[in-house]
C-alpha cells in the first residue's frame, strides 16, 4: 500500500495515479477531500484501488487516524510519498510571521508528522519514504525566504531518516524539482508581468518546465526494487537548472 499526501492536484495527483497504475493500493491524503475523492474515482474507474481522505498533514491526530484506517483497509504500508506543500513569496523583511509559520508547518512539519507516523510501518515492510523538496531546498532563491527554509529543512530531515532508519531497511530519499507545470506554478506566476514564465523557462538548460508526470516517474523509481540501494539521495529533477551558471 502506498500513502500519498497532496494527492488532490499537481505532483501529488500524478504520483498517486502512477502508483495506482503500478498496482498499488493508494491512500490519498489531502486537505481538499473533494479533490482527493475525484482522484479516487479516477483510479477506481481504471480498475485500481484507492481511498480518499480529507486531512491536514499538520494534524498528527488526524494523520494517525488515517494511517490506521488505511492499514485496516489495504494492509501494510510499502511506500510513502510526501507531496503536500504550499508556496508563499517574500523576502524576510516582507514575510509575515503567520505566513512563515504556515509554510514551515505544511512543508516541513507536515513531512515530519507523516514520517513519524509511517516509519514504524515502513520498518516492518522494509519500505520507502520519499519527500518532495525543491531546487529551492538546495540553493537560495531571492524572494522565497520561507519556502527555501522549509525545503532545505525537508532535505535535512530526509537525510536523518536515511541514517536513522536505513539500518532497519527503510530507504528515504528526496526529489528536488524546479518549476513544474502545476496549479502551484500557475499561482506563482499569476501576479507576474507578461513574459515572466518564459524568462524562467529560458533559465533551464532544457528550455522548459517539468510535467508533474516526470516527477512522478522519479518517485515511482525510488519506491521500486530498481532503487533498492538508493538511500539518503537528493534527486535534482530540474532540467539542469542547478547544474551551474547557464546563459542561453
Report d(CA 39, CA 46) in Å as an integer: 11
Spatial contact of 40 and 63, defined as CB atoms under 8 Å apart: no
Cα distances (Å, whole numbers) of residue 34 to 38, 48, 55, 65, 243: 6, 19, 11, 19, 39
Which amino acids are annotated catalytic?
147
From its phi and psi, is residue 217 left (phi > 0), alpha (psi between -120 and 50) or beta?
alpha
Q: To which residue does cell 481504471 refer?
A: 46
**How many other β-carbons are positioned within 10 Å of the β-carbon of residue 167?**
8
Report d(CA 2, CA 77) in Å as an integer: 6
Q: To which residue does cell 522565497 refer?
A: 144
Report d(CA 241, CA 248) in Å as an integer: 12
Amino acid at each position: 500500500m502506498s500513502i500519498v499526501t497532496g494527492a488532490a492536484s499537481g505532483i501529488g495527483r500524478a504520483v498517486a495515479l502512477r502508483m495506482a497504475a503500478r498496482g498499488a493500493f493508494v491512500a490519498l491524503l489531502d486537505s481538499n477531500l473533494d479533490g482527493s475523492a475525484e482522484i479516487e474515482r479516477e483510479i477506481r474507474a481504471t480498475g485500481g484501488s484507492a481511498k480518499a481522505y480529507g486531512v491536514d498533514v499538520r494534524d498528527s491526530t488526524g494523520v494517525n487516524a488515517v494511517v490506521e484506517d488505511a492499514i485496516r483497509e489495504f494492509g501494510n504500508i510499502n511506500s510513502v510519498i510526501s507531496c503536500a506543500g504550499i508556496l508563499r513569496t517574500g523576502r524576510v523583511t516582507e514575510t509575515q510571521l503567520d505566513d512563515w509559520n504556515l509554510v514551515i508547518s505544511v512543508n516541513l512539519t507536515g513531512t515530519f508528522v507523516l514520517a513519524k507516523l509511517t516509519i514504524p510501518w515502513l520498518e516492518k515492510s522494509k519500505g520507502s519514504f520519499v519527500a518532495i523538496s525543491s531546487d529551492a531546498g538546495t540553493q537560495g532563491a531571492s524572494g522565497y525566504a520561507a519556502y527555501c527554509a522549509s525545503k532545505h529543512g525537508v532535505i535535512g530531515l530526509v537525510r536523518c531518516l536515511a541514517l536513522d532508519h536505513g539500518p532497519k531497511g527503510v530507504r528515504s530519499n528526496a526529489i528536488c524539482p524546479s518549476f513544474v507545470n502545476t496549479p502551484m506554478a500557475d499561482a506563482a506566476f499569476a501576479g507576474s508581468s507578461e513574459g515572466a514564465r518564459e524568462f524562467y523557462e529560458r533559465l533551464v538548460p532544457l528550455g522548459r518546465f517539468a510535467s508533474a508526470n516526470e516527477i512522478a516517474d522519479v518517485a515511482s523509481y525510488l519506491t521500486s526494487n530498481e532503487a533498492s540501494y538508493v538511500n539518503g539521495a537528493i534527486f535534482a529533477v530540474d532540467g539542469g537548472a542547478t547544474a551551474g551558471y547557464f546563459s542561453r
